[in-house]
Amino acid sequence: MKLTVHRFSSGDESTIGSLMINGDFECFTLEDEYREEKVKGETRIPAGTYTVKFRESESPMTEKYRARYDFFKYHLHVQNVTNFQFIYIHAGNKDDHTDGCLLLGDSANNNQIDDGFIGHSRQAFERVYKKVSKALKEGEPVNIEYIDY
């Protein structure tokens, strides 16, 4: 499975993009802003291609997601991002909800006039999670490519 994030709007506080799954539009994305030098919890990951796997561990965030979503088992973890750790694909609406992770939503506000916001995040997350987790459970490799425009 091939996930592609097209980052098309880089604002002062956030980055808005779109997520494609195998070439088909799936939803909007929200990340932290671009920075030449990483600031912990305030910088999007570098453009590039990464592997996605389950992060099979227990944490307070894992327990929170299991309580919220009956379909959730483990986080979708973007692997081997230089100088970053625990980069997940998850639900959230604004850049305060991410520390470098990829947030998903079915609507997006213009981050050139505000700090950036995506809506209907839980439904977008559920849809994407089910597709990606099915592929992972079936042993299909999952890669995600981040492209800056």
Residue type, 97: H
For residue 18, is it within any domain? yes
How many structural domains comprise the chain? 1
Residue 16 β-bridge partners: 9, 30
130 within domain boundaries: no
Does residue 28 form part of some domain?
A: yes
Q: Name 144's Cβ contacts closer than 8 Å, sequence gap at least 6.
A: 3, 4, 5, 49, 50, 51, 52, 78, 89, 102
Whether 51 is in a domain gets the answer yes
pLDDT classification of 4: cutoffs 50, 70, 90:
very high
The pLDDT tens digits of the residues spanning 21-73 come to 999 999 999 999 999 999 999 999 999 999 999 999 888 989 999 999 999 99
Determine, yes or no, domain membership for 123.
no
Separation between Cα atoms, residue 29 and residue 19, nearest integer Å: 6
Neighbouring C-beta atoms of residue 80, cutoff 10 Å: 11
Residue 92 lies in a domain: yes
Between the CA atoms of 15, 126, 109 and 94, what dihedral angle is there, to the nearest 10 degrees? -60
Residue 24: what pLDDT? Answer: 98
Residue 86 lies in a domain: yes
Pick the range with the lowest mean pLDDT from 6-10, 25-29, 34-38, 118-122. 34-38
| Enclosing domain of residue 76 | 2-118+136-148
Give the separation between CA 58 and CA 147, rounded to whole angstroms: 31
| Gap between the Cα atoms of 140 and 148, Å rounded | 26
Residue pair 18/146 in contact by the 8 Å Cβ criterion? no
pLDDT for the residue numbered 16: 98
CA separation for the pair 116, 12 (Å, rounded): 9
How far is the C-alpha of 126 from the C-alpha of 109, rounded, in Å?
A: 21
pLDDT digits (tens, 9 = 90+) for 94-116: 999 999 999 999 999 999 998 89
